[in-house]
């Protein structure tokens, strides 16, 4: 399976004439269909795709897959929602256009939680995405199909989007790399919004190096996105180094230490022990590792802050979905009934619940208590992290409370005991911080991950710290055994 190789390897093979672009395309499409049968990772697999010229660009001639919430011209883009089940856009998202300009070849679109609003990969309108490491388990979400396809070795990389942890958690559960750069480094133009102030574009890969290559290609200031910024002097791949001597990282006692979790499962125990073991590898790299403390009350609030802000913005962002201008128009006697019918039938119950929450917290009588308070606490959390970044180059934390959960236990509900552990990645979205998850071992034969988050615009440092740690472990480039190597 050619997609199981790294971008550099594939590029060299193309340049050396060992394979052709057409062969790569055929291989990607064939393996996508196989993975589709096994794990249901895709909404769309294209029938035939034209090869591109192979040139100096590392991505040229190499197929990739894309989360279905990116607008792709002439290609079905559903956001995994019935409300857009027939929507074929006439414009392409800037990030995808940027990849296209580098010669990257899009051959499929991946399943996600409906509009990114979910963390399980079980709520897309085309069904549940199964974990390629163990088909009884979830991939996590919302970039479930993207994580699945990369972990299975069908593609070297996939685009994803991350509003709470939607790239970084499925990456951990699928044993791969998931990276969202600083807010605004990659344009959101053409990304179906979930919560605009939290939404990030990013990528899923199997190596840190590939994450740097793909991000270099996706990023760039965009006249269509006012929150994008000029990063033309940032070259992540060129400046990637494992020389991180003298850097300082910290981890947070209230999140990482086992004694916070009195009823810890064996999985959690193993996961945290592994985390402490791995973070200590930084010392071998000449990196200072420090345990720090953050107010527990503040950490306890983060999940609620996320729910309030993300639901409020989502309610508003998805008000354009009326089925009038686009989407399958409902039949009714008048505009209001058409819209009601379309939205009632189109959205899943989970999303409707979030709309109700979002609407409630924005109501005049509730707004200060919920929405404005959530914004205040968001600022406090971001300030707490920015304070840490005064002394440390990155905050390093375990992802989740262990490996991927079984599908039957995957209800999108918060477990109070391990809530902070499950939700802390959202702080990366609150602050727009660059944040990367890399695989750091196995628990119960299933992959687990570690996350490295730095201050805004310090993407290079974050990637270098990840690159260096990756080199100290044996999980770089690992592929799940879910698909036969054909």
Partner 1 sequence: MDNYQVMIGLEMHCEMSKTNSKVFSSAKNGYSDEANSFIRPVDLAFPGTLPVVNKEAVRLALKASMILNCKQPEYMYFERKNYYYPDLPKGYQITQETKPAPVGIYGYLDYEFKGETKRVRINNIHLEEDSASQDHYPTFSTLDYNRAGVPLLELVTEPDMHSAEEAVAFLEAMRAIYQYADISDADSKKGQIRCDVNVSICDKDKDISNPDNWGTKVEIKNVNSFGGVRDAINYEIDRQIALKESGEYDKMEQQTRRFDEDTMTTIYMRNKANAIDYKYFVEPNIPKFKITGEWLDEIRATIPEMPIERKNKYMNQFGLSEYDASILVKEKDISNFYEETLTLGSDPKKTANWLTSTILGYLNKNELEIKDIYLTPKMLFDLMKLVDDGKISSKQSKEVLTHVLEDKKDPNEVVKSLGMEQIGDDNLIRELAIKAIEEHLELIEEYRKGRNVFDFFVGQIMKATRGQANPSLTAKIIKEEIDKR
**Active-site residue list:** 67, 142, 166
Residue 42 and residue 7: Cα distance in Å, rounded? Answer: 21
Q: Is 461 in the site for partner 1 (CB under 8 A)?
A: no
List C-alpha distances in Å: 168 to 59, 164, 188, 192.
Answer: 22, 9, 18, 19
Alpha helices (runs of H) in 318-448, residue ranges in sequence order: 335-346, 349-362, 373-391, 419-423, 426-431
Q: In angstroms, give the least distance from the CB of 436 to partner 1.
A: 24
Residues 189-218 that bind partner 1 (CB under 8 A): 189-193, 195-197
Q: Is 303 in the site for partner 1 (CB under 8 A)?
A: no
Q: Is 89 in the site for partner 1 (CB under 8 A)?
A: yes
Q: Are strands 63-67 and 157-162 parallel, antiparallel or unpaired?
A: parallel
Q: Which is nearer to partner 1, 221 or 258 (CB)?
A: 221
Answer whether 258's CB lies under 8 Å from 269's CB: yes
Q: In angstroms, give the least distance from the CB of 354 to partner 1.
A: 15
Q: Which of 20, 55, 265, 359 binds partner 1 (CB under 8 A)?
A: 359
Dihedral of the CA atoms 257, 260, 263, 269 (nearest 10)?
A: -10
Q: Which of 77, 143, 260, 348 binds partner 1 (CB under 8 A)?
A: 77
Answer whether 70's CB lies under 8 Å from 159's CB: yes
* Among candidate residues 173, 202, 150, 129, the one with its CA nearest the CA of residue 4: 150
Q: Which is nearer to partner 1, 57 or 322 (CB)?
A: 322
Q: Which of 5, 188, 200, 405 binds partner 1 (CB under 8 A)?
A: 188
Residues 306-335 that bind partner 1 (CB under 8 A): 312-313, 315-316, 318-322, 324-326, 335
Q: In angstroms, give the least distance from the CB of 64 to partner 1.
A: 19
Q: Which is nearer to partner 1, 226 or 273 (CB)?
A: 226
Answer whether 200's CB lies under 8 Å from 429's CB: yes
Answer whether 242's CB lies under 8 Å from 464's CB: yes
Q: Which of 54, 58, 111, 339 binds partner 1 (CB under 8 A)?
A: 339
Q: In angstroms, give the least distance from the CB of 463 to partner 1.
A: 25
Q: Which of 90, 262, 349, 390 binds partner 1 (CB under 8 A)?
A: 90
Q: In angstroms, give the least distance from the CB of 327 to partner 1.
A: 9
Residues 6+ apart with CB under 8 A from 483: 1, 31, 34, 35, 38, 132, 152, 153, 154
Helix (H) or strand (E) holding 398: strand 394-398
| Residue 70, φ and ψ in degrees, nearest 5 | -95, 135
Q: Which of 363, 387, 409, 471 binds partner 1 (CB under 8 A)?
A: 363
Binding-site string for partner 1 from residue 221 to residue 260, where x marks contact by CB under 8 A and - marks none: --xxxxx---------------------------------
Q: In angstroms, give the least distance from the CB of 374 to partner 1.
A: 11
Q: Which is nearer to partner 1, 69 or 401 (CB)?
A: 69
Residue 248 and residue 242: Cα distance in Å, rounded? Answer: 14
How many residues lie near partner 1 (CB under 8 A)? 46
Neighbouring C-beta atoms of residue 352, cutoff 10 Å:
13
* Among candidate residues 251, 289, 245, 278, the one with its CA nearest the CA of residue 395: 251
Alpha helices (runs of H) in 167-207, residue ranges in sequence order: 168-173
Q: Which is nearer to partner 1, 53 or 364 (CB)?
A: 364
Stretch that binds partner 1, among 54-62, 89-97, 291-299, 385-393 (CB under 8 A): 89-97
Residues that bind partner 1 (CB under 8 A): 69-71, 77, 79, 84, 87, 89-91, 93, 188-193, 195-197, 223-227, 312-313, 315-316, 318-322, 324-326, 335-336, 339, 359, 362-364, 367, 371
């Amino acid at each position: 399976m050619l997609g199981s190789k790294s971008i550099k390897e594939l590029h060299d093979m193309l340049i050396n004439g060992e394979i052709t672009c057409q062969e790569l395309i055929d291989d990607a499409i064939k393996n996508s269909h196989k993975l589709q049968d096994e794990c249901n990772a895709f909404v769309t697999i294209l029938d035939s795709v034209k090869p591109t010229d192979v040139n100096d660009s590392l991505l040229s001639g190499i197929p990739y897959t894309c989360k279905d919430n990116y607008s792709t011209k002439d290609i079905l883009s559903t956001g995994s929602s019935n409300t857009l089940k027939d929507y074929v856009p006439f414009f392409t998202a800037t990030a995808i256009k940027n990849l296209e300009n580098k010669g990257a070849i899009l051959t499929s679109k991946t399943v996600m939680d409906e509009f990114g609003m979910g963390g399980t990969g079980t709520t897309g309108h085309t069904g549940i995405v199964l974990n390629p490491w163990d088909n009884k388990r979830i991939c996590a979400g919302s970039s479930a199909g993207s994580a699945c396809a990369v972990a299975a070795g069908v593609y070297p990389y996939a685009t994803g989007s991350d509003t709470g942890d939607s790239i970084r958690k499925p990456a951990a559960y699928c044993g791969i790399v998931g990276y969202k750069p600083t807010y605004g480094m990659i344009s959101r133009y053409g990304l179906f919004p979930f919560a605009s102030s939290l939404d990030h574009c990013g990528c899923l890969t199997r190596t840190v190096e590939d994450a740097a290559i793909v991000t270099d290609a996706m990023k760039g200031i965009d006249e269509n996105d006012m929150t994008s910024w000029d990063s033309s002097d940032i070259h992540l791949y060129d400046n990637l180094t494992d020389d991180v001597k003298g850097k300082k990282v910290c981890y947070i006692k209230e999140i990482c230490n086992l004694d916070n979790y009195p009823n810890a499962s064996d999985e959690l125990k193993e996961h945290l022990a592994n985390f402490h073991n791995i973070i200590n590898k930084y010392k071998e790299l000449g990196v200072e590792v420090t345990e720090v403390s953050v107010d527990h009350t503040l950490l306890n609030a983060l999940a609620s802050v996320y729910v309030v802000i993300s639901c409020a913005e989502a309610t508003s962002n998805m008000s354009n979905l009326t089925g009038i201008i686009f989407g399958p128009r409902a039949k009714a006697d008048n505009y209001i009934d058409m819209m009601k019918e379309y939205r009632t039938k189109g959205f899943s119950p989970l999303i409707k619940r979030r709309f109700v929450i979002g609407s409630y917290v924005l109501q005049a009588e509730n707004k200060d208590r919920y929405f404005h308070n959530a914004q205040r606490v968001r600022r406090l959390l971001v300030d707490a992290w920015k304070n840490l970044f005064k002394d440390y180059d990155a905050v390093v934390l375990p992802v989740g409370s262990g490996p991927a959960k079984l599908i039957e236990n995957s209800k999108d509900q918060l477990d109070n005991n391990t809530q902070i552990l499950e939700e802390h990645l959202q702080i990366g979205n609150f602050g727009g911080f660059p944040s990367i998850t890399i695989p750091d071992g196995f628990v119960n034969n299933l992959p687990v991950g570690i996350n490295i988050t730095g201050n805004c615009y310090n993407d290079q440092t974050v990637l270098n710290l990840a690159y260096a740690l990756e080199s100290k472990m044996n999980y770089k480039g690992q592929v799940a055994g879910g698909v036969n190597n054909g």
